[in-house]
Chains A and B, each alone.
Chain A
Amino acid sequence: MPLFRRRNKAINKIPSVNAPIAYMEEHKDAKITGNLKETTDFIIKLLGENGDFLMREFHVFGQYPATMFYFSQMVDPSMLNESILKPLMYTPPHIQTEQLPPERLQDVLLNNALYHSNCQTESLLPSLVKGILRGETIIAVEGLKQAFLIATRQIDKRGIEQPATEQVIRGPREGFVETIGTNLSLIRYRLQSPELRVAQMDIGRKTRSKVAICYMQGLTNPELVDEVNNRLKRIDVDAILDSGYLEQYIEDNQLSPFPQVQYTERPDKVVANLLEGRVAILVDGSPLALIVPTVFNQFYQTVEDYTERYLLMSPIRIVRLVALMFSLIFPSIYVSIISFNPELIPTEFAVAVAGGRAGVPFPAVVEVLIIEISMEVLREATIRLPQQVGGALSIVGVLIIGQAAVSAGFASPITVVIIALTTIGSFATPAYNAALALRLLRFPLMILAGIFGLYGVMIGLILIANHLLSLKSFGVPYLSPLVPGDFQGMKDLLIRGPLWWSNKRPSFLYPLDRTRNSGQSSTSTHEQSENALDPAKFQGGKEKS
């Protein structure tokens, strides 16, 4: 193993530096001198101690000494062998390679020898190191003042699967994966338009995560794109491990329980939002894209609303909205009616409730709080447990504990029903982060209900509503298009209007091009449609022939 011995010798000779970042800062402008030894030393000082770092010395065309550097687990070895090492070692038959001057050598290597499409030259030493860290391969040749950076990265990634959190019955089945390249290709594949722009930047001093900002040139308001860029540029942290980190740095109000940025793992949803005039942000290593600006109604809309027919999906959307309200106010209304205004409910029912509560020692608010908290514990446990056990636990929890609590006189049956409805209601909300906000807010509401009854619930709701009304996401009022009123937008608020009906993009995003479709392209405009297979036509034809 002469290769390894040599490498080890070289590495042993040169001590590695203790503060790599500082060392790189110090030699920010260090250039390749043409002396291969110096280049090698610089790189080894920084990376030589790593077990997965490889350095391979060879001779280009059998005469010029050269060295290749890479991280062995980040590159595609067969590509390295076949399309880089082989053409460099073999002398191309049609080219005179004896005694080339350095400039000519570089030209020949780049233009005639290397069989690789993505190949750059680079003269700064720190950039070489960064390239190696990204998974590229560096080839430095004795005498050349520039080294070659070849994109040989190959990272193992998971296949494209169905999105785990946003499943649909009707609609595309693809979800984002971790690598940003794949995700961008998924978006481009759906949006084959020259208007789609992808701006890239690196965020995170240590992780140097690639962040891509996608928008539609000529459609998205440029001010929005600038603001997104500015907010992202201001971020100075050492690590961005997921788009969730970014979200917390760019949102408008960090104290609000309500999410002001939407995330999704569906490429089709990203494309739909880009086409409305929003901006999508993707982070390398995260399967969730961020979409800004976000308004509240996005949290109860799903992709399926648009893929299925509007007449059927409109009531379903309203059901979802009802579920959302359930998850927020149901327990507190129950508490206030039971403990303050039992006269509101019909007498027969009131008697039944009283009968159920006869053995329960606590006031309603305490009872509901206990059951609610145990429900939250149960829910958290189900999420954390391995999948095989989780199912069993939820059955045990819901059926057995609920039943046992009632028969032990610990809770009344109505309470269990209410809590169950609340929990199911919060599951029906498509956006997990919005459901989470409402789930948490119902606890203060319950306490207010326990103190002030319906009056307290209203006070709590007014506080929440006022907060929502004052909230903004990138300047867009959070409750748009309801407040401030926008008739066009309301067609897609409570109900999902027919596609040809909502022919304008949302006005609160101020897109440069407002028209979405001509409003004429559907058969529902009636004029042009013709009964192609009308039986009358064909029977008439048969008689004639």
Chain B
Amino acid sequence: MEQTRQVTVTQAAAVLVSTIIGVGVLPLPLFAVRAADSGAPLVTFFGMLIAMVGLLLITWLGMRFPDRNIVQYSEAIIGRWLAWIGSGCIIVFFAVLTSLTAREFGEVVVTSVLKTTPVEVTVIVMLVLAAISSRNGITTFAYIHMFYMPLLIGPAILIVALSLKNADILNLEPIWGNERKDMLGGTVTIAALCQGSFILTMVIPAMRRPKKAMRASFWGMLIAGGLYVTIVIATVAVFGAEETKKLLWPTLELAKATSLPANVLERLDAAFLAVWVTAVFSTLLSSYFLTNQAIAFLFRLKDHRMFSIFLLPFVFLMAMFPKNIVQMYGIIMQVGRVGLVLTIAYPGLLLLVAILRKKRGKPLGSSKSG
């Protein structure tokens, strides 16, 4: 398999940013507001902190084994069979995550733009797109993320900036929130939106200088987290907490409520959604790629391409499992919480054992020749 060290720090950060920013941004303010009313930005911030901790664990672990990915070093740390179970869980989890992301976006598209198109079609189109693109090597994968990152940040910033004229600072007060019903639950849910950052475990072995992985994860999380918090602030400032609770995808409503100056486009939601396809695609690509690569490494395959198509029907069937949007979001929350255990506790455990058993990967000098 192609294992050239070509990914730069910027590209690794771009991978993180465009992976984390995805379809989750659309319902994000709703989750936050449900947890703590006007304290939503704060909840988001805490969520980001948790995600940051998880990411730091992964990065630390990855830097300990700079030439191996999680499937490979988990075998070295906790033994072959336990590692098989762990990696298997990760594969299944990310396959599920992929399917849920595709389904969620399929629902968004069907609900707001293509009202007569069956949801199956939009889901399968997204999945096929991800499957085709995940056949590329890790270098191209990093290029793709690098290329799309400005396309995610640009429109999001634009929407936020344009919505500011309708914003009311009063809506954000008190910043601690009036009724903090489920502060912890909300924090966890929001942290779960960043699970895509687990892709870093696959990127580190391809990085030119794995020593700088920490910088990449810091900047990646800072940009993505900053955008998350900004969007929540903007939404709550425009709609107010109570209004936001009634909206299914508040970020999309935010786009609907804004219009470009000079009346170029009357409404922005369809355009925003169109551009947001790239964001969803990059998230989907990451989780699909991760699943695909993990399978390839688990079974020690030479070529990961075969599996990308083979995986498609399974992911599609899982995506079609939830009966409606309500059930889907229920599942997303459940899966997200399970996922947090998997993406934070499991690497944490690995790291702990690695430190205790003094396991460490080869320093990079030997593998730099390639």
Contacts and interface: CB of A to CB of B under 8 A. Distances in A.
A470 B140 CA distance: 5
Given A344-B267, A485-B10, A479 B143 contact: yes
Interface stretch (A212-220, A461-469, A516-524): A461-469
Contacts of A344: 265-267, 270-271
A459 B133 contact: no
B271 to A, nearest CB: 6
Interface of A: 340-341, 343-347, 452-455, 457-459, 462-463, 465-466, 469-470, 477, 479, 482-485
20 contacts: A343-B267, A346-B265, A452-B117, A454-B274, A455-B109, A455-B113, A455-B114, A455-B274, A458-B275, A462-B129, A465-B144, A466-B132, A466-B133, A470-B136, A477-B143, A483-B143, A483-B146, A484-B8, A484-B146, A485-B11
The residue among A344, A453, A466 with the most chain B CB atoms within 10 A of its own CB is: A466
Interface string B126-144: 1001001100100010111
Contacts of B126: 459
A347 B267 CA distance: 11
Interface of B: 6, 8, 10-11, 109, 113-114, 117, 122, 125-126, 129, 132-133, 136, 140, 142-144, 146-148, 263-267, 270-271, 273-275, 277-278, 281
A466 B113 contact: no
B132 A463 contact: yes
A454 B271 contact: yes
Contacts of B10: 485
Contact of B270 (A341, A459, A466, A477): A341
The 6 closest A-B CB pairs, nearest first, are A454-B274, A458-B277, A341-B270, A470-B140, A469-B143, A483-B143
A462 B113 CA distance: 19
Given A340-B114, A454-B113, A462-B278, A479 B147 contact: yes
B21 to A, nearest CB: 15
A345 B147 contact: no
A466 B136 CA distance: 9
Contacts of A466: 132-133, 136, 144
Of the candidates B11, B126, B147, the one having the most CB atoms from chain A within 10 angstroms of its own CB is: B147
Contacts of B109: 455
A465 B147 contact: yes
* Contact residues of A: prevailing secondary structure: helix
B114 A469 contact: no
A149 to B, nearest CB: 50
Residue in B133, B148, B274 whose Cβ sees the most chain A Cβ within 10 Å: B274
B147 A453 contact: no
B140 A459 contact: no
B265 A345 contact: yes
Contacts of A458: 274-275, 277-278
A112 B126 CA distance: 81
Nearest to B126: A459
Contacts of B117: 452
Contacts of A340: 113-114, 270
Contacts of B274: 454-455, 457-458
Contacts of A453: 113-114
A468 to B, nearest CB: 9
B147 A452 contact: no
Nearest to B276: A458
A171 B132 CA distance: 45
Contacts of B147: 465, 469, 479, 482-483
A528 B125 CA distance: 63
Nearest to B277: A458
A340 B129 CA distance: 22
A465 to B, nearest CB: 6
Max chain A Cβ within 10 angstroms of own Cβ: one of B6, B109, B143: B143
Given A452-B114, A485-B10, 20 more contacts: A344-B266, A344-B270, A345-B265, A347-B266, A455-B113, A458-B275, A459-B125, A459-B129, A462-B277, A462-B281, A463-B129, A466-B133, A466-B144, A469-B140, A469-B143, A470-B140, A479-B147, A485-B8, A485-B11, A485-B146
A459 B277 contact: yes
A261 to B, nearest CB: 21
Nearest to A485: B10
Given A452-B125, A463-B132, A484 B11 contact: yes
B143 A484 contact: yes
A343 B266 contact: yes
A62 to B, nearest CB: 73
B303 to A, nearest CB: 16
Contacts of A463: 129, 132
Contacts of B265: 344-346
A346 B263 contact: yes
A485 B9 CA distance: 11
